[in-house]
Amino acid sequence: MPIPMAVARANRAALNHVMRRVAPHTPFLGLLTHRGRRSGREFTIPVNVFQVTSEGAPGIRLALTYGPGTDWVKNVLAAGGCSLRFRGRRLELADPRLVHDPARTGMPRPVRFVLARLGVEEFLDLTVVR
């Protein structure tokens, strides 16, 4: 079971403001920028980021710690992509795909352990646009 939405609301009110400064320079964290599908507004949120290779192409896997029903996931799926500040670079991402992966493939062992304890099995895979 993903983290409860009450925690997400608390994070949005407080922790996300701090994480926006730290995330682009922290391993396994990044800042995702997406556009609201109804409002058209641009939003930036911290996310858990992992580099993966899919069919020989570089990709990004985002851990959906609050599940696949969050607004930002719906926005990225509707738009067909987003941008990400990760490890000091800005990446354009496309072709979002929801992935159910109980094995938490491609993640370091400590991360797999933490995500397993949190019950996270859903991910969003995206392709890096060159």
Residue-by-residue DSSP string for the chain: -PPPHHHHHHIIIIIHHHHHHHGGGSTTEEEEEEE-TTT--EEEEEEEEEEEEETTEEEEEEE-TT-TTSHHHHHHHHHTEEEEEETTEEEEEEEEEEEE-TT-TTS-HHHHHHHHHHT--EEEEEEEE-
Residue 58: predicted pLDDT: 82
CATH code linked to domain 5-129: 2.30.110.10
Structure tokens at 91: 């990446």
pTM above 0.85, yes or no: no
In this model, does residue 11 exceed pLDDT 70?
no
In the predicted model, what is the mean pLDDT of residues 45-71?
Answer: 87
Which of 90, 97, 83 minimizes the C-alpha distance to 52? 97
Per-residue pLDDT tens for 87-130?
888 999 999 999 999 999 888 899 999 999 999 999 999 999 97
**pLDDT(52) > 90:** no
User: Does pLDDT of 41 surpass 60?
Assistant: yes
